[in-house]
């Protein structure tokens, strides 16, 4: 009998528990200052290496994934209005999700801790002189390599959008570029998965350092930020998706919820939008959604619809900023919304992709992503809820698009007779 290997989430959980235990022991036996000095000198550096690897992979993954995603959407031309309606629906709901996430995070912010280790880094971003218009101007790069080397993430996203559109417009002559992007993207995904595979080491080191320097009481804050994220998930599902199917499709929200239960249960347990696709398709079939619509909307949604991930990023960004003693300005919050919404088209249904996007969002607002280690250990718990919300969003979009296209679909069926 072969022994069953532990999954990566299990190893991350073990690493987190071990880091908490070691940090608590050092904190209790050595005292705060000696424990902080010891872990900062000899344990934290290994966690910093993990964070550096995350930062290293952010720019190429985001750049290549968005270009590859845009190029793959050439199929939208074949389905006409279904394509742009689907994309607009996803982008609008993702923007709303970002706003909900920020509102929930701001409500919970007084309960988030300010870590003593962040005292030297603290500043009030609301006093920043950068205006929203300056931020909008700075979204557009003046130098390609500068944007990439400085990891100016909004500019990287804009570069990806332009290159993706250019490849599509070049048609046959752009095919070589599309193939190169696809190949490099596949390579970077393998590199990313390698980095994610060593994440238990990073989690162990960072949690040891945090608990040793802050004490075990920091753990209560993780329960609070987890609760904030789930409140955002539930609120978005009720307010946005239930309202969408009622207003745009005339379907009872109760009927919609009952119809999608199998897919939500599977998504919650598997944490994979892609793996849930067959069950989502069955749920849509039971709701009498045209097979052509669901076959297009659901796979596309598994790639570009990341409402749950957007809420998670916003809550996590505010939590991490608060831990560092940073009060985000309105401009920075707008940047979070814009970055998370645009980047949603490049987030694949791959384990660890949400953490890469969080690092990207933090860099976009000028925050060191070192403190990702604070919440990475319980990322699986966040992931269960955000994946479920993403899947629900895919099916709600299918319901709405099916209603919007009902006339054209009926006419097509008549012609086929």
Instruction: Give 210-235 pLDDT, tens digit per residue.
Output: 788 777 766 777 788 889 999 999 99
pLDDT at 10 over 60: yes
Q: Which residue has the tokens 């490049």?
A: 346
The domains of the chain, with CATH numbers, are: 8-416 (1.10.3860)
Q: Six-digit token pair at 138? A: 């700075």
- Nearest in space to 327 (alpha carbons), one of 280, 367, 267: 367
Q: Which residue has the tokens 């500019």?
A: 155
The terminus-to-terminus CA distance of the chain in angstroms comes to: 57
Spatial contact of 368 and 362, defined as CB atoms under 8 Å apart: yes
Spatial contact of 105 and 228, defined as CB atoms under 8 Å apart: yes
Q: Which of 136-150, 156-170, 334-348, 386-400 has the highest mean pLDDT?
A: 386-400
d(CA 333, CA 326): 12
Q: What is the SS3 assignment for 325-344?
A: CEECCHHHHHHHHHHHHHHH
pLDDT at 80 over 60: no
* Per-residue pLDDT, 140: 85
Instruction: Give 102-137 pLDDT, tens digit per residue.
Output: 899 889 888 887 766 544 444 344 444 445 566 567
Spatial contact of 193 and 57, defined as CB atoms under 8 Å apart: no
* Per-residue pLDDT, 245: 92
Provide the percentage of residues in the chain whose pLDDT is more than 70. 81
> SS3 for 151?
coil
Please state whether the predicted TM-score (pTM) of the whole model is above 0.85.
Answer: no
* Per-residue pLDDT, 345: 55
Spatial contact of 387 and 68, defined as CB atoms under 8 Å apart: no
Instruction: Give 48-63 pLDDT, tens digit per residue.
Output: 888 788 778 777 877 8
Mean pLDDT on 181-209: 84
């Amino acid at each position: 009998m072969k022994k069953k290997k532990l999954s990566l989430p299990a190893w991350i959980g073990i690493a987190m528990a071990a880091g908490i235990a070691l940090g608590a022991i050092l904190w209790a036996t050595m005292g705060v200052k000696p424990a902080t000095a010891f872990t900062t000198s000899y344990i934290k550096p290994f966690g910093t290496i993990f964070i550096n690897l995350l930062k290293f992979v952010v720019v190429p993954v985001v750049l290549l994934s968005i270009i590859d995603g845009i190029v793959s959407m050439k199929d939208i031309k074949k389905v006409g209005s279904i394509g742009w309606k689907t994309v607009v629906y996803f982008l609008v709901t993702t923007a709303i999700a970002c706003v909900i996430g920020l509102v929930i995070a701001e409500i919970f912010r007084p309960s988030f801790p300010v870590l003593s280790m962040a005292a030297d880094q603290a500043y009030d971003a609301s006093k920043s002189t950068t205006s929203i218009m300056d931020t909008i101007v700075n979204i557009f790069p003046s130098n390609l390599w500068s944007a990439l080397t400085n990891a100016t993430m909004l500019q990287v996203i804009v570069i990806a959008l332009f290159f993706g559109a250019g490849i599509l417009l070049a048609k046959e002559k752009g095919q070589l570029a599309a193939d190169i992007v696809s190949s490099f993207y596949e390579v970077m995904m393998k590199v990313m998965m390698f980095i994610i595979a060593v994440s238990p080491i990073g989690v162990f080191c960072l949690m040891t350092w945090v608990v040793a320097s802050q004490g075990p009481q920091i753990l209560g804050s993780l329960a609070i930020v987890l609760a904030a994220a789930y409140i955002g998930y539930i609120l978005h599902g009720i307010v946005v998706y239930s309202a969408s199917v009622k207003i745009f499709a005339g379907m009872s929200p109760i009927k919609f919820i009952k119809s999608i239960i199998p897919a939500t249960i599977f998504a919650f347990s598997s944490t994979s939008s892609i793996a849930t696709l067959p069950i989502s398709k069955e749920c849509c079939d039971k709701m009498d959604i045209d097979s052509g619509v669901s076959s297009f909307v659901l796979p596309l949604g598994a790639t570009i619809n990341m409402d749950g991930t957007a809420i998670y990023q916003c809550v996590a960004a505010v939590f991490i900023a608060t831990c560092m003693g940073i009060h985000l300005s309105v401009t920075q919050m707008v940047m979070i919304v814009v970055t998370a919404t645009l980047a949603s088209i490049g987030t694949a249904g791959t384990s660890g992709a949400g953490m890469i996007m969080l690092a990207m969002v933090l860099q976009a607002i000028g925050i060191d992503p070192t403190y990702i280690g604070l919440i990475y250990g319980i990322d699986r718990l966040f992931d269960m809820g955000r994946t479920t919300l993403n899947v629900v969003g895919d099916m709600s979009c299918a319901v709405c698009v099916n209603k919007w296209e009902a006339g054209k679909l009926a006419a097509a069926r008549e012609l086929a007779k």
